[in-house]
Amino acid sequence: MVYTESKLYDQFEFFLKSYRSQDGRLIYREQISRLASEQKRSIVINYQDIIKFDPELAVSLAEAPGPAIEECTKAAVEAIKIENFDYAQSIEREFKVRIRGLPERLNLRNITSKHIDKLISLGGMVVRTSEIMPLLKVAAFVCPSGHVTHVIQKGTSLKQPSKCSQCNETRNFDLDRTKSIFTDFQVLRIQELPEELPPGQLPQYIDIDIDGDVVNVARPGDRIIVTGIIRAEGEKNKKMIQSSLFKIKLEGLYIEELSRSNERIEITLEDEEKIKELAKTPDIYGNLIFSLAPGIYGHNEIKEALLLMSVGSPQVFLPDGQALRGDINVLLVGDPGTAKSELLKYVSRLAPRALYTSGRGSTAAGLTAAVVKEANGMMMLEAGAVVLADQGIACIDEFDKMKPEDRSVLHEVMEQQTVSVAKGGIVATLNARTSIVAAANPLLGKYDTYKNLYENINLPVPLLNRFDLIFIIRDLPNREADEKLAEHILEIRKKSDYAYQPPIEFNLLRKYLEYVKRANPKLSEEASDKIKAFYLEMRGSSQEGTIAITARQLETLVRLTLARARLLLKENADAEDATRALELVKSMLETVGVDVRTRKFDIGGILQGKPASERSQLQIALETFAKLCGPKNEPVEEKTIIDELIKTGKFTNEDAVRIITIMLRNGQIYEKAWGKYSLV
């Protein structure tokens, strides 16, 4: 049964005046009475309340929302007039009734022509937002005689009066902006959530028109639920002829944040009990590691790091507003065919919020954010991968193949966890609270153990030191290990299943990792003392200008310790958690943090500039150059320079050639003539 307009008005009037909540409060009368004091121009009605009050009225609202909302608005305005007549008159023409709480949330790709002019609820991720513009709601037109005619506007096309309301003039109307009524207007674009996207499908999107007090409540990267009316909008071709093809748009009525409980991973009470029992088992930590990527042989230390990265540590906010990062960033550097990409793909499937992208096909705008100009001249702010992966994980493969200018945008993301944009008149800071796991190949294909890390990969030093953990994966022939790897791969192929069944199956592991993020463990005294002792010991072992460990690694130790405690659902991180964090960092120091020329720990030099051995060689080389060039800076032959450097006893022939190349690259010397160099 569909109600008539008068019946709709009567039912909504009765609903607004008489509906009581479970605790007996007249919640809509209270909303209406507070409107004037709060200077609001809308009320929010829960659809579930209408279902309880009158199921047939709820059906009428869903099936024919246009007339139903219009009558409800009239009833609400009359109720406001009883409370505050003057305020009701001032907001009458821009007042809106907003509906929320529909029982069913549609998927974007399920919207068809049957939903046109129906009330629906959609979930999605905001990928674009336009600038806020004034939208004309009531236009005041002035005829040549000076009479004013008001015309209520619908949509974005300007509607003029057919004739003057007083003198019957039919032409030459002027719009009087001072007497017209405007409201704020914005266009959002939402697309399907990555976790709801069917494999191999392109994400679908829809544009949403919003106005009034719901503008600017959502930013790119936010996950929202929108309640609104599906509209079919006609498009015109170049010859300005109306086409029979229409574009679907959503007229947004209400926007609310999509909470974690509304997302795809649903944790039932039964799941919760199972997870708590699982966390109490003595071998849970080992089982979690063995359950991560069971199709990939070995790499247990990397799997442990990825497990800790998946849960992260709690973010800390200081009283002055400073935020201490809790997300862990991991870099995998290694030979081809060592399952780096497979590990990244697995993490992107495991995490509830994760995006996988390849460096080869990623630009700075595609990773962070961009300002796009639409065909109609509207400026839109569009979110990139790290913004869309907010509170999740961004997996970046082929990290070394990215252009330097594109990669440099990640500096702010990895430390401040924000993306700042100032383009096309739009200045905004977007959240990018994401962990980054990246994979890179060495410059010459295979990792060269006779070179330091920054010489092996084409990555800038400031970006390298923002990674908490860096793992070197080498493909070395070893009969025993090769035999086990071959058996593992062949067993998978024969069985079309895992070579060994993981202790925790995939879906339960996903729920477990999602559930433990609710825990916020604190650092205990014994864990704190252990970390402090290790930090002081490593700082004390520094010699001859080397820096064995820095404050960045101290922060890494704290994050890893708290992440392990969170993974095991502990209230306080203990000494055992700190010990495991120390072992992971020690493992990194022994591979990445050792200067290959002196065999000494110098992670500060390798990841924050140049190691002590190279700094001293550069200094000697520059002094030698200055002496050979003389006060007139005469050019010196390469052979002469090499011979002089070898005489100092600090250089071999290879070292001398390498240091000359470094100085050329740094712009400290230049080639004045063939094979002759001068100081810059």
Is 458 within the bounds of a domain?
A: no
- Look at strands 242-257 and 205-211 and give their pairing: parallel
What span, in angstroms and rounded, lies between the C-alpha atoms of 306 and 584? Answer: 12
Domain that holds residue 176: 108-262
**pLDDT score, position 541:** 67
By the 8 A CB rule, do 602 and 590 touch?
Answer: no
By the 8 A CB rule, do 152 and 183 touch?
Answer: no
**pLDDT score, position 227:** 92
Beta strands in 79-157 (DSSP E): 96-100, 119-130, 133-142, 148-152
CA dihedral for 399, 404, 407, 412, sign (positive or negative): positive
Is 547 within the bounds of a domain?
A: yes
Is 161 within the bounds of a domain?
A: yes
By the 8 A CB rule, do 193 and 123 touch?
Answer: yes
Same domain for 541 and 617, yes or no, is no
Is 384 within the bounds of a domain?
A: no
Looking at residue 404, the DSSP 8-state letter turns out to be H
Same domain for 119 and 220, yes or no, is yes
Average pLDDT over residues 11-16: 90
Same domain for 32 and 124, yes or no, is no
Of the residues 64, 80, 100, the one at which a domain ends: 100
Nearest 10 degrees: Cα torsion 650, 653, 659, 663: 120
Read off the pLDDT band of 560 (50, 70, 90).
very high
Read off the pLDDT band of 150 (50, 70, 90).
confident
Model-level pTM?
A: 0.72
In this predicted structure, the answer to whether residue 262 has a pLDDT above a threshold of 50 is no
3-state secondary structure of 355: strand
**pLDDT score, position 261:** 44
Distances (CA, A) of 279 to 204, 313, 500, 510: 39, 17, 22, 14
Query: How far out from the chain centre does Cα 660 lie?
Result: 43
Strand (E) or helix (H) holding 556:
helix 551-567
Distances (CA, A) of 540 to 498, 535, 536, 549, 557: 47, 8, 6, 10, 17
Distances (CA, A) of 149 to 134, 155, 164, 165: 20, 19, 6, 6
CB atoms within 10 A of CB 276: 11
What span, in angstroms and rounded, lies between the C-alpha atoms of 253 and 318? Answer: 37
**475 φ, ψ to 5°?**
-105, 90
Query: In terms of DSSP H, where are the helices of 54-161?
Result: 55-63, 65-83, 85-91
Is 440 within the bounds of a domain?
A: no
Same domain for 92 and 115, yes or no, is no
Average of per-residue pLDDT values in the chain: 82
Read off the pLDDT band of 561 (50, 70, 90).
very high
Distances (CA, A) of 64 to 14, 115, 292, 425, 459: 20, 11, 50, 40, 58
Is 439 within the bounds of a domain?
A: no
Give the CATH number for residue 643: 1.10.10.10
In this predicted structure, the answer to whether residue 543 has a pLDDT above a threshold of 80 is no
Is 220 within the bounds of a domain?
A: yes
Of the residues 225, 242, 262, the one at which a domain ends: 262
What span, in angstroms and rounded, lies between the C-alpha atoms of 371 and 521? Answer: 40
Q: Which amino acid is at 537?
A: E
What span, in angstroms and rounded, lies between the C-alpha atoms of 43 and 80? Answer: 11
What span, in angstroms and rounded, lies between the C-alpha atoms of 194 and 339? Answer: 23
582: region left, alpha or beta (phi > 0 left; psi from -120 to 50 alpha): alpha
Q: Maximum CA pair distance of the chain?
A: 105
In this predicted structure, the answer to whether residue 172 has a pLDDT above a threshold of 50 is yes
Same domain for 539 and 619, yes or no, is no
Higher pLDDT, 532 or 548: 532
Same domain for 175 and 50, yes or no, is no
What span, in angstroms and rounded, lies between the C-alpha atoms of 246 and 261? Answer: 35
CA dihedral for 345, 349, 355, 361, sign (positive or negative): positive
Higher pLDDT, 496 or 611: 496
- State the total domains in the chain: 4
In this predicted structure, the answer to whether residue 69 has a pLDDT above a threshold of 60 is yes
Distances (CA, A) of 76 to 72, 73, 82, 583: 6, 5, 10, 66
3-state secondary structure of 19: coil
Average pLDDT over residues 57-77: 90
What span, in angstroms and rounded, lies between the C-alpha atoms of 404 and 417? Answer: 20
Interaxial angle between packed helices 284-291 and 551-567, expressed in degrees from 0 to 180 and rounded to the nearest 10: 100
Give the CATH number for residue 77: 3.30.1640.10
- Look at strands 522-523 and 572-573 and give their pairing: parallel
Same domain for 42 and 155, yes or no, is no
Of the residues 262, 284, 319, the one at which a domain ends: 262
Is 436 within the bounds of a domain?
A: no
CB atoms within 10 A of CB 61: 26
Q: What is the pLDDT of residues 266-296, one digit of tens each?
A: 778 888 888 888 888 888 888 888 888 888 8
Same domain for 249 and 132, yes or no, is yes
**pLDDT score, position 455:** 72
Residues forming a β-bridge with 104: none
Q: What is the pLDDT of residues 187-230, one digit of tens each?
A: 888 988 877 777 667 788 888 999 888 888 888 878 889 999 99
Q: What is the pLDDT of residues 487-497, one digit of tens each?
A: 888 988 888 88
In this predicted structure, the answer to whether residue 326 has a pLDDT above a threshold of 70 is yes
Same domain for 89 and 134, yes or no, is no
Give the CATH number for residue 589: 1.10.8
Nearest 10 degrees: Cα torsion 267, 417, 300, 296: 70
Residues forming a β-bridge with 213: none
Q: Give the whole-number percent of the chain exceeding pLDDT 70.
A: 91
Same domain for 115 and 237, yes or no, is yes
**pLDDT score, position 228:** 92
- Sole residue written with tokens 């035999």: 483
Average pLDDT over residues 111-127: 88
- Sole residue written with tokens 């000359």: 660
What span, in angstroms and rounded, lies between the C-alpha atoms of 61 and 2? Answer: 9
Same domain for 96 and 174, yes or no, is no
Same domain for 258 and 117, yes or no, is yes
Looking at residue 157, the DSSP 8-state letter turns out to be S
Which has the closest alpha carbon to 161: 179, 146, 143? 143
